[in-house]
Structure 1
């Protein structure tokens, strides 16, 4: 399928050309990649609808504890519990 796009702002065209070159792609291939990535990502309305269909999450922990656990398990640079000065921005 062919698609012609007119009146692309010069700065947008220049950025597309630069990014295509940096990725070793033709402008055509890069634009197709950008469009494909964009339309495959759900819109905010679609994302909200998907979230609304999920069952509620139940936990005996409060939100602060969940955040603390998530940081501990997922971030190697997060400080140990109870010592905020030992992190990368502390002390």
Structure 2
């Protein structure tokens, strides 16, 4: 396990986090670790776009406009 120290945390942020930690029955350290863990598991926008790019394009067949036109013409 590593240790992370965060400096210059504004008083209001510290107070809110400490209050939320207490309300959830956890220490401030446990609470902030949970926040950091959740955040680190969420891909950034750039990471998400890279995943999409790597999957390549998908042929979805007819466009929505074509489907609607066909349906209208059939009626």
TM-score (norm 1): 0.59
- Please identify runs of 4+ aligned residues in structure 1 that moved more than 4 A: none
Higher RCO, 1 vs 2 (CA within 8 Å, ≥6 residues apart): 2
Gaps of 5+ in 1: 64-91
Specify whether residues 61 and 34 from structure 1 end up closer, same or farther in structure 2 by C-alpha distance, changes over 3 A only: same
Q: Which runs of 5+ in 2 are unaligned?
A: 66-75
Q: CA RMSD in A?
A: 2.0
- In the other structure, the counterpart of 2:17 is 16
Q: When the two structures are aligned, how many residues end up with a matched partner? A: 64
TM-score, normalised via structure 2 length: 0.70
Whichever of the two has the greater Rg, that structure is 2
Other-structure match for 1:43: 44
- Report which of the two has the higher share of helix: 2
